[in-house]
């Protein structure tokens, strides 16, 4: 099971760390309740190493990485369907206009 999900988990970790850079750039005055140790070098190094591991996994274990990635990608339409129709069906989705 771990072989199937580690690739996707690393992709989400990479996206999270990229979000740190984006937020520091787009909202420089926002409150920072935590410190990113070694910013920007350590987070950038983490991104590079995680990308390297993902590339190696794609190269040497494609029988595990592709199915895991496909499972994650199948969640995208589920997310949009869930967001459109909602769990209860009556509450508006975030960002929808309320009349």
How many C-beta atoms surround the C-beta of residue 65 within 10 A? Answer: 23
pLDDT confidence of residue 93: 56
Residue 71 makes CB contacts below 8 A (sequence gap 6+) with 4, 8
Residues in the chain: 99
Q: Is the pLDDT of residue 1 over 80?
A: no
For the four alpha carbons of 51, 53, 59 and 62, in that order, the dihedral sign comes to: negative
Q: Is the pLDDT of residue 71 over 70?
A: yes
Residues 15-64: pLDDT tens digits?
999 999 999 999 999 998 878 889 999 999 999 999 999 999 999 999 98
Q: Is the pLDDT of residue 82 over 80?
A: yes
Give the pTM. 0.74
Q: Please indicate whether residue 3 or residue 76 has the higher confidence score (pLDDT).
A: 76
pLDDT confidence of residue 62: 92
């Amino acid at each position: 099971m771990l072989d199937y999900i580690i690739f996707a988990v690393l992709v989400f970790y990479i996206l999270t760390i990229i979000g740190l850079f984006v937020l520091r750039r787009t909202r420089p005055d926002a409150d920072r309740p935590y410190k990113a140790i070694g910013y920007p070098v350590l987070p950038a190094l983490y991104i590079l190493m995680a990308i390297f591991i993902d590339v190696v996994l794609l190269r040497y274990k494609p029988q595990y990485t592709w199915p895991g990635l496909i499972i994650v990608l199948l969640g995208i339409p589920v997310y949009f369907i869930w967001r459109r129709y909602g769990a209860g069906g009556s509450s508006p989705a975030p960002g929808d206009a309320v009349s």
